Chain A
Amino acid sequence: MKTRIELDDNIYNKKVKEESVSKIVGLTKEIVEEISKEKDEPKWVLDIRLKALDYFNKLPMPNWGPDLSMLNLDEISTYVKRGINTSDKWEDVPEEIKNVFDKLGIPEAEKKSLAGVGAQFDSEMVYHKVQDDLKKQGVIYCNFDTAIKEYPDLVKEYFTKAVPIMDHKFIALHYALFSGGSFVYIPKGVHLDNPLQSYFRLNSKGAGQFEHTLIIVEEDSYLEFIEGCSAPGYNTLNLHAGCVELFVKKNALLRFSTIENWSKNMLNLNTKKAYVDENGKIEWIMGSFGSKISMLYPMSILEDNAKCEMTQLSFAGKGQNLDTGLKVVCNGKNTSTVVNSKSISKDGGICTFRSNVLVNKKASNSKLSLSCESLMLDSISRSDTIPSCTILNDDTIFSHEAKIGKISDDTIFYLMSRGLSEEEAKSIIVRGFAEPISKVFPVEYAVEMNRLINMELEGTIG
């Protein structure tokens, strides 16, 4: 008896025709100025873009991690213009684009379980809406380009403050070219019962996506934010160099979940950083399935009594190099960090867990516990764990454990003796391995995660 789940991987591969699209290719001062003009931005934003371009030209390529030499920015469309204004009605979104988001289940999820939705298509946000009652409570959830115009003081106060423009070469590139993304402001004491979700879809062949997400969760507030990413497959490189800046104030809690399923021709060089104030908490939940190369290390900066929890699952198949992990800087006393990372690699895929932890002198009585588990489904794949830790005081408790293993023959034998085929047995074991991670996602997204795991496994093991 087979219990195989029928999968439709076409939902991620749906392409929209590009006849009416104008693309800006390459990166020069003139191009940066043109993008800024196109968006009718104030001068202070253009100044940031030009300064970032300068840093991009000066900063070296990383001399560690996956090889990025195949990236030629002269061939990347740095801005894809469709001329669509952001709307809060799905009816206003062009039919073909709306169909893509329909297939991805975004409008349906919005009706069922989300407090607000943003949907980005290539360089532009095409849809953004938040529930009216939340608006009345002062919640802001809008396109980042809109926020620059409508909430300039708030944006100025926080923009580039978590992730500085000179942090590394690809963040400088991001600040030179950023377009779209979401801006979220949760006022003091507001507790959102349902999550907000922004979905980023990169459709154009050879294009880059540089969305900027800025979230401020004020004191005693709670927000769950979900980020979804996908793209159809092409035979040329696409680039994603987004940025996420998060500010979690005193006693606030932010749960930031990402399910990333970029196409296998994508270079995903994303930067995420959270500042967590006294007694605040950041929860990172990450599922990384797509992209050709990913370099993604969300960073948390923790003040007194702040907490960071990270739950992460990476699944690398043929031709994929997923270099993911985290950075934690403990600045305040009594901080707590718990990391649970799992990775699965198959068909020559490479999974690397790379962490950097810094416990500063003042961060007394900090506790950090990192655990990594890797499952390899064959011997042509790779699974590396590269954790670095620097401690500058004498009363930190730090522990890091890592395990690498294969699927146990005894377990397969047991399951097969119960009537399952070898393929089904292995599939169950892999899903069981990922289960502690998928169960922390909201139900709909846990289902999506399981669907992605099944898609990755289908026909490749057994």
Chain B
Amino acid sequence: MEYILNKTPIRTTNNFKVNDLKLDLDIIKTKFKDFKTKNVNINTRIENNFESKIGLLEDKYLFVDVFNNNEVGYLEYDFDNDYLTSLINVNASNLIIIFKGDNAFLNTKIVINKAKSVSIVNLTSKDSKSFISIENNTNSIVNFIELGGKIKVSNYYSVINEENSINTFNSIYLGKEDEVLDLNYYIGFNNKNTKGSINVEGVLLDNAHKSFKGTIDFYEGSKGSSGDELENVVLLSDKVISRSLPMLLCHEEDVSGTHAVSKGKIDEEKLFYLMSRGLSEKESKIMIILSNFNKILDNIPDINLKNEIINEISKRL
């Protein structure tokens, strides 16, 4: 069945195919299993009528309420060859959500109602298809590591409603072989003196096909607010398709908004320097890419998980 997913908040010309993602999907549904947890309490139940900003509707889904206090809490779903549709309702302090598994099908919405920091790590692989929609109703920092499998569709949506609030979304993505990535991230500014930023670092290789849509939207009345948006992507193959649509929408005079997109091949001077120190070309490239990613990875509050992510990125590169 064909789905049209992850629509941009404002459409632009159709001939560059960036407004939405058309996908043919066969969804094979199985029974939901339990999340693995550490330092969190969860309540789960099956509910009806799943919907998210991505637009992949389903009948039944697993509703997960997550609570914890100050410690770093963990919620993990490991599902080789399996299926999950869920809504994760976050009422935690520091939470790490991990998805793992080969050939998995993930359709999830993460609603952040209370948190200081939430890190979402998608380590699914091979033929996995993931559709991760994040709605942030707090001032928390959200880190999203999108390594995923064959199809990875993600959405971040946050409107800053409280005066003097800050909203930060950091993301890393990796696309290889013939993987498809569609990333649609939005921050709306709806009060005075708010700050928001979307920081995205990525790497594409082989025949990967990526669309990044980022939106900074200043509403009327958002005086004194500032918003930044950055996408920096390294292209490692001449067969990749890299699309970007970094939008800046403004309905208020007294704001400061910037966006920047930078795309290109790996810095040859850095590569030459590292290779002159005895590293192979491949090792040098991995090192440069990881150094780009490091400022986001540093926000992950678990050194072991950070190392696991680094190993996984190195393996995939």
Contact = CB atoms under 8 A, between A and B. Distances in A.
A399 B250 contact: no
A398 interface: yes
Best-surrounded residue of B13, B16, B238, B255 (most CB of chain A within 10 A): B13
B258 A379 contact: no
B251 interface: yes
Contacts of B263: 389, 391, 396-398
A383 B259 CA distance: 14
B250 A400 contact: no
Contacts of B237: 394
Interface stretch (B60-68, B239-247, B293-301): B239-247
Contacts of A358: 16
Interface string B218-249: 10110100000000000111111111111111
Query: Main secondary structure on chain A at its contact with chain B?
Result: strand
Contacts of B14: 63-64
Closest 5 CB pairs of A and B: A64-B11, A376-B253, A394-B235, A385-B248, A406-B253
Contact of B12 (A356, A364, A380, A382): A356
A386 B245 contact: yes
B259 A390 contact: no
A381 interface: yes
A188 interface: no
B163 interface: no
Contact of B246 (A354, A377, A400): A400
A388 interface: yes
Interface string B91-114: 000000000000000000000000
Best-surrounded residue of B10, B19, B221 (most CB of chain A within 10 A): B10
A252 B13 CA distance: 30
A398 B255 contact: no
Contacts of B259: 385, 400-402
A386 B247 contact: yes
Given A395-B238, A397-B264, A388 B243 contact: yes
Contacts of A405: 255-256
Contacts of A361: 238-239
B262 to A, nearest CB: 5
Category for how many chain B residues contact A: 35 or more
A354 B221 contact: no
A392 interface: yes
Given A376-B253, A396-B264, A402-B259, A388 B238 contact: no
B244 A384 contact: no
B252 A63 contact: no
Contacts of A398: 261-264
Contact of A386 (B10, B15, B265): B10
Given A64-B14, A393-B235, A394-B265, A385 B247 contact: yes
A64 B20 CA distance: 13
24 contacts: A62-B13, A63-B11, A64-B13, A354-B13, A356-B15, A377-B253, A378-B253, A379-B253, A381-B251, A384-B247, A385-B247, A388-B16, A389-B243, A389-B244, A389-B261, A394-B240, A396-B263, A399-B261, A400-B259, A401-B258, A402-B246, A402-B248, A402-B258, A404-B258
B254 interface: yes
Nearest to B205: A394
Given A388-B13, A402-B258, A406-B253, 4 more contacts: A64-B14, A391-B240, A391-B243, A405-B256
